[in-house]
């Protein structure tokens, strides 16, 4: 087991997952180790660790898949399970799943009995490079993404890219969108290495070093600003409009995966960056061509602009009733805490539709 990132959470490369996990959880009392997973990861990923003696089958919590279940009802069920199965303040919760259960499980652990330890074992590309590291936990509430949550880092994160092989292409592409975001906010060099990578029918061995680098990039920003007061806001690039697209799609019963929404949001926000910060139009068009080749295009009408704007006004990053953007002046040149007018946001939506 090799440490690949040392921050608030130790991030390990776990090539022998059962052995490595067993070593980490030996200090916890038998019967006090719990595991949270969703129905998909329970079927495809849990068998890889189910024989670990420290994890009792009776202490496995299985929740339903999908972001629509990242809610107060689901987390109440998790709290209830912990409460009725003897969990105490020295218990451990292992989150074996993708981004949604890692967020929800981290929040459940952070709040149960004022906080118990938790370990993340991400099973999707999205959770490997995003949800499992960085210390953000939470749930959706009242139709808004990640409205309720706390900052709390996992005791450890175990990275095993073999899990990516259990995913379909759509979910792999979703995770790749966050890697694109990391490249664009970090450096031209990283973007140049990533933009031609063949994510369709991907070779996991070739992808692994890019995943590790993406984790390093995220932790670079997290370590500099753990509670998102300043430079960590860079990681929100694409998410203000992207979250609005994601919430809008969900409330219209045509949900899109998080990474797809972020990919769409990045293009619209690059246009805002072009107008406000001078992001080069030729680079915007190049990035759009790459993103559209992987993710297609999000469909909405002019009549939807008001609803999309309303959803943006409820983004948790906003301050003083102003919509807060992270924009790019150029690749790797970030401008945080940027605001723009409603007309400028509508212009960005017009631009996105015109592509």
Between CA 26 and CA 22 the distance in angstroms is: 6
The domain over range 2-166 is classified in CATH as 3.40.50.1970: yes
Q: Nearest Cα to 329, choosing from 283, 289, 268?
A: 283
pLDDT the model gives residue 131:
74
Asked if residues 140 and 67 have their Cβ atoms less than 8 Å apart, the reply is yes
> Tens digits of per-residue pLDDT, 30-58?
899 999 999 999 999 999 998 898 899 99
Of all residues in the chain, what percent carry a pLDDT higher than 90? 81
Between CA 233 and CA 235 the distance in angstroms is: 5
pLDDT the model gives residue 1:
72
Confidence of residue 82 (pLDDT cuts 50, 70, 90): very high
Confidence of residue 322 (pLDDT cuts 50, 70, 90): confident
For the chain, how long is the longest CA-to-CA vector?
Answer: 60
Q: Give pTM, 2 decimals.
A: 0.89
Helix (H, G, I), strand (E, B) or coil at 307: helix
> Tens digits of per-residue pLDDT, 123-154?
999 999 987 788 889 999 998 888 899 999 99
pLDDT the model gives residue 316:
67
Domain range list for the chain: 2-166, 170-354
For 170-354, CATH gives 1.20.1090.10
183 against 14, higher pLDDT: 183
Which residues on adjacent β-strands are paired with residue 93?
A: 34, 118
Q: Is the pLDDT score of 317 beyond 80?
A: no
pLDDT the model gives residue 327:
97
């Amino acid at each position: 087991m090799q440490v690949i990132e040392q921050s608030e959470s130790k991030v390990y490369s776990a090539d022998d997952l059962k052995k490595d996990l067993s070593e980490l959880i030996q200090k916890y009392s038998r019967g006090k180790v719990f595991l949270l997973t969703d129905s998909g990861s329970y079927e495809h990923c849990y068998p890889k660790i189910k024989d670990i003696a420290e994890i009792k089958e009776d202490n496995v919590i299985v929740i339903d898949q999908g972001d629509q279940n990242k809610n107060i009802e689901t987390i109440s069920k998790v709290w209830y399970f912990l409460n009725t199965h003897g969990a105490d303040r020295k218990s451990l919760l292992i989150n074996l799943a993708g981004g949604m259960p890692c967020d929800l499980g981290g929040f459940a652990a952070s709040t149960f009995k004022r906080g118990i330890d938790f370990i993340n074992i991400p099973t999707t590309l999205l959770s490997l490079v995003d949800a499992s590291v960085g210390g953000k936990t939470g749930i959706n509430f009242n139709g808004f993404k990640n409205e309720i949550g706390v900052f709390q880092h996992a005791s450890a994160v175990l990275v095993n890219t073999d899990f990516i092989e259990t995913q379909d292409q759509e979910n792999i592409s979703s995770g790749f969108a966050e890697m694109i975001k990391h490249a664009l906010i970090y450096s031209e060099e990283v973007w140049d290495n990533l933009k031609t990578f063949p994510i369709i029918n991907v070779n996991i061995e070739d992808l692994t070093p890019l995943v590790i680098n993406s984790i390093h990039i995220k932790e670079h920003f997290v370590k500099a600003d753990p509670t998102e007061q300043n430079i960590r806001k860079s990681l929100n690039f694409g998410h203000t409009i992207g979250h609005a697209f994601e919430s809008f799609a969900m409330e219209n019963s045509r949900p899109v995966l998080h990474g797809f929404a972020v990919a769409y949001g990045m293009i619209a926000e690059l246009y805002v960056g072009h107008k406000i910060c001078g992001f080069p139009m030729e680079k915007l068009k190049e990035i759009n061509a790459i993103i559209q080749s992987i993710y297609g295009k999000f469909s909405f009408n002019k009549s939807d602009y008001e609803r999309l704007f309303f959803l943006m006004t409820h983004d948790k990053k906003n301050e003083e009733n102003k919509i807060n953007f992270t924009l790019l002046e150029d690749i790797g040149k970030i401008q945080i805490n940027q605001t723009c007018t409603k007309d400028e946001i509508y212009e960005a939506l017009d631009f996105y539709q015109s592509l």
